[in-house]
Chain A
Amino acid sequence: MTIKEQQDRIIEDFEVFGDWMEKYEYIIQLGKDLPLIDPQYKTDDNLIRGCQSKVWLHAELKDGKLVFTADSDAVITKGLVSLVVQVLSGHAPKDIAEADIYFIDAIGLTSHLSPTRSNGLLSMLKQIKLYAVAFQAKSMQN
């Protein structure tokens, strides 16, 4: 599935929920289901520090695709992280770097999240794009 298809799928998934409590239930479930990051990568270097909760994000290149694993100490944050990882993990660095991320707005997350939390989400997206650009540059050098 392309990044665009992944986003459209998530938007469709969220359309079935009647209210935000149901959306949060779903996000919590995603958080619980997110495969844990390998403990060796749960380091300060991989930490995206927010005011409320912590997120660890690890990136590695496998067969030309950038694979992300992540974790958070808060389960709702972890669910949000899971959505981002679903959309962007397993794609070529170039595709990730150039991706137009619209699902967050489309499912109403931007307007519903507190600025702190949505800033955290944006920080994570920024970090993912930085990784993508860095891996892209590295592969071009090689």
Chain B
Amino acid sequence: MGTATAQDILWPEVELIRNEFPILQQTVNGRPLVYLDNGATTQKPVSVIRSMQEYYTQYNSNVHRGVHTLSQQATSAYEAARHAVAAFIGAHHHEVVFTKGTTDAINLVANGFRKAILKEGDEIIISGMEHHSNIVPWQLICEEKGAKLKVVPVTDKGELDMDAFRSLLNGRVKLVSITWVSNTMGTVNPVKEIISLAHEQGIPVLLDAAQAAAHIPIKVHELDVDFLALSGHKLFGPTGIGILYGKESWLEKLPPYQGGGDMIKQVTFDKTTYADVPLKFEAGTPAICEAIGLGAAVAWVNKIGIHKIQAYEHQLTEYAVAALKQVEGIRFIGEARHRSGAISFLVGDTHPSDVGVLLDQQGIAVRTGHHCTQPLCDRFGIPGTVRASLAVYNITADIDKLVEGVRKAVTLLG
């Protein structure tokens, strides 16, 4: 048992971080686990696991309505988590709605736009590198309302064609919904410029920050973004929890997503008035334990420092790209100037799933397939990619094992 014990050449202290992740201390298929599927989900530090265990063992109770001690403790912890996430993204706490995750947050906004904003002939702008969760909700509402979905093309390097983006902006566009970081290619989009250009024409912007949150400092007020969605499980927190940030004025304007308990001011059979934001969007018993876990995850990231994480991952990504370039026949999908987190590639004629299976045999976890970005794969004319996605606990030894594992897989498949 046990993972790399040698100090990492880029950041010796990273070994201390690795020690906080029990799951990394195991073997898979007889080899020490090399976990490089962080774009799908990140592993959890003991502080997150412990916070969730404490909730269930010490103060499991429902929130907001109970007068008893446990309920008050649960409510305090739940709301403290909201404050923690708000501070993490530079928002006011009442601008943070707990959701099931990024997908749920995007659907919340889509549903609100369907009900309150969108009319026939309107347009929504997305990009060619979106995850399906930032495509399908907009397709659904556009079909229903007779609106049009406009797609910003992606260049051969895997960057957004910003000239095309500018040309798509017009008075009919009601929302721009774009990913901050591509989950497939790791491209970091110029979100400040996107927001600024859209705002010049009075168009609001939603950022899918699912792949950004664990890698890049987020300051929503500085960005002046209108909506931002992220998932807890991609930020060292639990699954089933995420947030939607919305400017207060927008959250006020959008109708409730779902009806139920805890989202109302008053209910009569004639009329219901709704609670203030954000509770207006949190019908029913929320994912209390998961929210608390997310609060702990944010605290853990703060302890390391997101700027430090960003700087280290930048070095690690450069190391990984340089190391993978040594593999004969490798072809990168996405070579953006600004990138973070994910590296996608193909080697020769090998199918990504074959490479993935053989890497798994060597204890190396990567993602293969279309990564829920089928239109992007179609754009490059490929069935999918092998994707290595990094997190702060990855080390250069992981990359070395990946390169060695890919070489072995390709030899076997050749």
Which of A's residues lie within 8 Å of B, judged by CB? 19-21, 24-25, 28, 51-54, 73-77, 114, 117
CB distance from B41 to the nearest CB of A (A): 16
Contact of B368 among A19, A24, A52, A73 (CB under 8 A): A52
Whether A53 contacts B361 by the Cβ 8 Å rule is no
Query: Which residues in chain B, 352-369, are within 8 Å of chain A measured between CB atoms?
Result: 352-354, 356-358, 360-361, 368-369
Say yes or no for B412: interface residue by CB 8 A criterion.
Answer: yes
Contact B357 A24 (CB under 8 A): yes
How far apart sit A24 and B399, CA to CA, in the bound complex (Å)?
23
19 contacts between A and B (CB under 8 A): A20-B361, A24-B358, A24-B361, A25-B412, A28-B354, A28-B412, A52-B352, A52-B384, A53-B351, A53-B353, A74-B351, A74-B354, A76-B353, A76-B357, A76-B358, A77-B351, A77-B353, A77-B354, A117-B357
Question: Known: A28-B413, A51-B369, A53-B383. Contact between A73 and B361, CB under 8 A?
Answer: no
The chain A residue with its CB closest to the CB of B350 is: A75
A85 and B353 CA atoms in complex are apart in Å by 21
Query: Contacts A51-B369, A52-B369, A53-B383: A74 and B361 contacting too (C-beta < 8 A)?
Result: no
B278 to chain A, nearest CB (A): 35
Q: How many A-B residue pairs have CB under 8 A?
A: 46
A1 to chain B, nearest CB (A): 29
Chain A CB within 8 A of B29 CB: yes
Residue contact A52 to B412, C-beta cutoff 8 Å:
no
Q: Are B361 and A75 in contact (CB under 8 A)?
A: no
Contacts of A114 in B (CB 8 A): 357, 360
Cα–Cα, bound, A73→B358 (Å):
16
Q: What's the interface size class on B, roughly? A: 10 to 19
What 0/1 readout, one digit per residue, does chain B (215-239) give for beta carbons within 8 Å of chain A?
0000000000000000000000000
Enumerate chain A residues within 8 angstroms of B353, measured Cβ to Cβ.
52-53, 74, 76-77, 117
B357 touches A75 (CB 8 A): no
Which residue of chain B has its CB nearest to the CB of A19? B30
Instruction: Check B383 against A73 for contact (C-beta < 8 Å).
Output: yes
Q: How far is the CB of B323 from chain A (nearest CB, A)?
A: 23
Query: Given the complex, which residues of A lie within 8 Å of B383, measured CB to CB?
Result: 53-54, 73
Q: A73-B351, A76-B358 given; name 18 further pairs at CB < 8 Å.
A: A21-B358, A21-B412, A24-B357, A24-B358, A24-B361, A28-B354, A28-B412, A51-B369, A52-B353, A52-B368, A53-B351, A53-B383, A75-B413, A76-B353, A76-B357, A77-B353, A77-B354, A117-B353
Q: Which residues of A contact B30 (CB under 8 A)?
A: 19
- Complex-state Cα separation, A74 to B413, whole angstroms: 10
Which one of B29, B354, B384 contacts A76 once the chains associate, using CB atoms below 8 Å?
B354
> Contacts of B412 on A, CB cut-off 8 Å?
21, 24-25, 28
Whole-angstrom CA separation of A28 from B409 in the bound complex: 11
B354 with A75: CB separation less than 8 A: yes
Bound complex: CA A66 to CA B353 (Å): 30
Q: For residue A120, give the distance in angstroms from its CB to the closest CB of chain B.
A: 10
A20 to B359, CA, bound (A): 12
Q: Which residues 306-363 in B have Cβ within 8 Å of A in the complex?
A: 350-354, 356-358, 360-361
